[in-house]
Copies of this chain bind each other. A is one copy, B any other.
Amino acid sequence: MKRTSLAGDSCPVARALDVFGDWWSLLIIRDASLGRRRFGEFQASLGLAKNILTTRLRALVERGILKTVPASDGSAYQEYVLTPKGHGIFPILVALRQWTEEFDEHPDEIATIMVDRDKGKPVKKLALLSQDGRVLGAADTTLKLRPARKASRRASA
């Protein structure tokens, strides 16, 4: 079976999914972005098996999403915190959240809303803008082949 790896794919969506596209990683990242850091915190919050959590944490560290830091409350245990690369996933979490807010069949089951810390008011929907400031929908965009950057650096197809 050997779950097909998407790592070599040329599509950036696939490449992202290859890094954190499994069943648990994004939830771990969500928890981390909410300030959870300890193995036990993740395990209690997510309710996943500990061996799976071990595997996932290791993979996320390996891929540069999380890093382990020695302590924080003085104990000899280690903690898992987001790297900048991990913090960069935040917009994806927001997009997922907003999709549920808009399309879920049971919005009454959603417990939380995202607000800006200053005013406490709900944030606006993520907006995709053109360089001249127009709001773009899916139909207003296209994909173009990435212009070749440096010299000849043709990896695989």
Contact = CB atoms under 8 A, between A and B. Distances in A.
A116 B141 contact: yes
A114 B137 CA distance: 12
Nearest to A109: B155
Contact of A112 (B99, B131, B145, B156): B145
B130 A116 contact: yes
Given A14-B30, A119-B131, A121-B131, 20 more contacts: A8-B109, A12-B97, A13-B97, A17-B23, A17-B26, A17-B96, A21-B26, A91-B126, A91-B128, A108-B149, A108-B153, A111-B145, A113-B146, A116-B130, A116-B131, A116-B142, A118-B134, A121-B130, A122-B156, A127-B127
